[in-house]
Amino acid sequence: MTTSPAAAAPVDFSHVETWVFDLDNTLYPPGLDLWRQIDMKMRAYIANFLGLTLDEAFALQKGYYKKYGTSLRGLMIEHAMDPDDFLAHVHAIDLASLEAAPALGEALGALPGRKLVYTNGSRGHADQVLDKLGISEHFADVHDIVAAEFHPKPQETAYRGFLTRFDVDPTRAAMFEDLARNLEVPAMLGMRTVLVVPPGLAVNPADREAWEHEGRDGAHIDVVTDDLTAFLNSLRV
């Protein structure tokens, strides 16, 4: 099912030349336990790094995430943590539940123009996920948190750095995300925005916290879809 906040006036994507996709819970559906694995590994790493209990580490992790955009950014600012080991640790996850997505690959391949992945995670994690999905060939490049100099979405600085790096005209680009707050700046910059949500708009605490799903009905979101492949196919001329 695909829904639009302005169903009476379908949103035009015919001018889009650059298609920008978040990675986790966007290019693959939530509920596969991948984000939960990352989340738990973050908690354990923080507990060990700062000598905290898991509960204390969890509270700190989520607090920094909400304040700084990523837990990593908070740890770097507040505790001068070196990010390399953290990124390697939290992205060493089991991808067994992730299956190839040939229909998504076909839909991506049919899009005219350039496709990019823009993630707050690491390049290595993105490459593994794209390879497992079987869709790597459709993307020109990946912009990760290292390339962003550890400025995460939703910071405006992060988006402007991305646009500059790839010479993207935001008025001729579209951004796909699973978090509404990460679409506010893209909309302000002139990008088309698509929010990818779980089927039925369900909120799964194992994937995200409730506050992360706030803003789904915001004016900065052009389209809401719970089926990315179907939505991309609907754009075919």
Query: pLDDT tens-digit profile of 86-119?
Result: 999 999 999 999 999 999 999 999 999 999 999 9
* Whether the predicted pLDDT of 8 surpasses 50: no
The mean per-residue pLDDT over the stretch 218-236 comes to 93
Q: What is the pLDDT of residues 217-226, one digit of tens each?
A: 788 999 999 9
The mean per-residue pLDDT over the stretch 144-171 comes to 97
Q: Which two tokens stand for residue 25?
A: 């819970």
Predicted confidence at residue 214, as pLDDT, reads 67
Q: Which two tokens stand for residue 62?
A: 């989520």
Measure the CA–CA gap between 55 and 25, rounded to whole angstroms.
Answer: 25
DSSP string, 51-73: T--HHHHHHHHHHHHHHHSSHHH
- Count of alpha carbons within 13 angstroms of residue 172, beta-carbon side: 10
* Whether the predicted pLDDT of 6 surpasses 50: no
- The answer for residues whose C-beta is within 8 angstroms of residue 61's C-beta and 6 or more apart is 39, 42, 43, 46, 71
The mean per-residue pLDDT over the stretch 131-147 comes to 98
3-state SS assignment for residue 139: coil
Q: What is the pLDDT of residues 178-206, one digit of tens each?
A: 999 999 999 999 999 999 998 765 444 44
Q: What is the pLDDT of residues 13-66, one digit of tens each?
A: 999 999 999 999 999 988 788 988 999 999 999 999 999 999 999 999 999 998
What structural domains and CATH numbers belong to the chain?
Answer: 2-28+100-234 (3.40.50.1000), 34-90 (1.10.150.450)
3-state SS assignment for residue 188: helix
